[in-house]
Amino acid sequence: MTSETGRIEAFSDGIFSIAATLLVLELKPPAASLPFWQGIAAQWPGYASFLLSFLFIGIMWISHHRLFSHIRRSDDALLGSNLLLLLGVVWIPYPTSLMAQAVGTPRFRDAAIFYNGSYLALALLFNLLLFTCVWRGLVDRDYSGVGNIVRQYVAGPALYLLCLAITWWNVPLSLAINGAIALSFLLSPDATPKCRANEGKSAR
């Protein structure tokens, strides 16, 4: 194996891609009693739920990919904390589907609390993984960008906690903030276009 972490990444990729794909099974054909396009339109919470889940899981995969491109060794603590993170990834479709069903019902706030709370838990699991890597010295020592990753990760739980607090005040705003946080993680922590820019430089 060229990389000691290769098989951990392969297992993680499998989990991420299955979790991202499963929600398409929840998309049901529109009710036969409605005209076709009206039936399609009535299903929008299901489509929105599918879209959100897919993008969130995709963005989490990108974060995971970026972090692992700097991990050089694996140990038992990494295996354990990565497993807990993957548990969180697989969990996400469930609160998303609960929220899709609660749109337009009196349960909307409760479902959004459950949903935003799940993201807070996931942000904490990402931090657990990162600090395991730093604490055990598994990260590439040459890599000067670890500080950038740490800053981006540490901000996560704080932002999702704020998002959770806003849910009691304004549910749609809290969901919009949740989406905005995810999009902010799409940007590389190095704030450069290349995702492995630093490594590229040191190799030249």
In the complex, the residues that contact its own copies under the rule CB under 8 A are 1-4, 6-11, 13-22, 24-25, 27, 29-30, 36-37, 40, 51, 54-55, 58-59, 61-62, 65, 68-69, 73-77, 79-80, 83, 86-87, 90-91, 93-94, 97-98, 101-102, 107, 110-111, 114, 136, 186-188, 193-196, 200
| Angle at the Cα of 178 from the Cα atoms of 11 and 85, rounded to 5 degrees | 25
All residues at 6 or more sequence positions from 141 whose CB lies less than 8 Å from its CB, including other chains: none
| Angle at the Cα of 116 from the Cα atoms of 90 and 189, rounded to 5 degrees | 75
Q: How far apart are CA 66 and CA 59, in angstroms?
A: 11
Q: How far is the CB of 153 from its own copies (least distance, A)?
A: 17
Q: How far apart are CA 76 and CA 136, in angstroms?
A: 10
Are 154 and 138 a contacting pair, CB within 8 Å? no
Q: How far is the CB of 170 from its own copies (least distance, A)?
A: 19
* Neighbouring C-beta atoms of residue 110, cutoff 10 Å: 15
The residue among 82 and 178 lying less far from its own copies, judged by its C-beta, is 82
The residue among 85 and 158 lying less far from its own copies, judged by its C-beta, is 85
Q: How far is the CB of 197 from its own copies (least distance, A)?
A: 8
Largest CA distance in the chain: 64
Q: How far apart are CA 64 and CA 61, in angstroms?
A: 5
Eight-state DSSP code of residue 25: G
Q: How far is the CB of 130 from its own copies (least distance, A)?
A: 18
Q: How far is the CB of 98 from its own copies (least distance, A)?
A: 6
The residue among 158 and 198 lying less far from its own copies, judged by its C-beta, is 198
Length of the chain: 204
Q: How far is the CB of 95 from its own copies (least distance, A)?
A: 10
The residue among 69 and 148 lying less far from its own copies, judged by its C-beta, is 69
The residue among 15 and 181 lying less far from its own copies, judged by its C-beta, is 15
Eight-state DSSP code of residue 139: B
The residue among 158 and 191 lying less far from its own copies, judged by its C-beta, is 191
